[in-house]
Copies of this chain bind each other. A is one copy, B any other.
């Protein structure tokens, strides 16, 4: 069997076509049966691919009608699995690497429990600041276990999707995750980084991303300036 399942391949194809505008907003995708014959697969497989697109909010299914293409979210779809850059569309996003990836020990207190393997391996630490429409919006602090990531600390990740890099170079995929959200008043450090003027609160998010490698999870702390943008999600 191929490494990449059929439904995943179809998902990637359709996703790309929607994001690049080949299928316009409001138009209909080919019907499920058409997709079957086009790609030489059966309906349950097609449906599995479409389910993922629904979950991403890229299509809307109507019984008796078809799969309607939705406008890719204009605000930041951090709640979707694909990660920041691909969710918002790379064109909107600029990334500054505030702290380049470096080896470290794990912090003492952590929102999520670590596995033994993770604890023993130490972690790679990196900080980024992400801009939307040239405004600093996302400040994220990331902890990755130092497991089978040769030369990772020397890679340039400026303006690249961290997840894309992990997938391409290390065959690591994000399968899912969990997160916790709070509203907080930022400390002066965060305030400075996000260029917050007055007493504006920020969204504080702790995330754990589960990958296809057993015991390899990515932990992120995110400070989000929700003054001009919102975080959105579909469920």
Task: Write the residues of chain A forming the contact surface with B, with a CB cutoff of 8 angstroms.
Answer: 44, 57, 75, 79-81, 176-185, 199-204, 224, 226, 230-235
Contact = CB atoms under 8 A, between A and B. Distances in A.
Contacts of A182: 203, 226, 230-231
A81 B234 CA distance: 9
**Oligomeric state, in copies:** 2
Given A81-B235, A185-B199, A201-B201, A75 B178 contact: no
Contact of A180 (B57, B183, B202, B231): B231
A60 to B, nearest CB: 9
A79 B77 CA distance: 13
Contacts of A178: 57, 232-235
Nearest to A180: B230
A22 to B, nearest CB: 24
Contacts of A179: 232-233, 235
Contact of A184 (B183, B204, B235): B183
Contacts of A204: 183
Nearest to A174: B235
A232 B44 CA distance: 31
Give the top 6 A-B pairs by smallest Cβ distance, nearest first: A201-B201, A183-B183, A183-B201, A182-B226, A180-B230, A181-B231
Given A44-B44, A199-B185, A201-B185, A180 B234 contact: no
17 contacts: A80-B235, A81-B235, A176-B234, A177-B234, A177-B235, A179-B232, A179-B233, A180-B230, A180-B231, A181-B226, A182-B203, A182-B230, A183-B183, A183-B200, A183-B202, A184-B226, A199-B199
A203 B182 CA distance: 7
A235 B79 contact: yes
Contacts of A44: 44
Nearest to A82: B235
Contact of A203 (B75, B80, B181, B232): B181
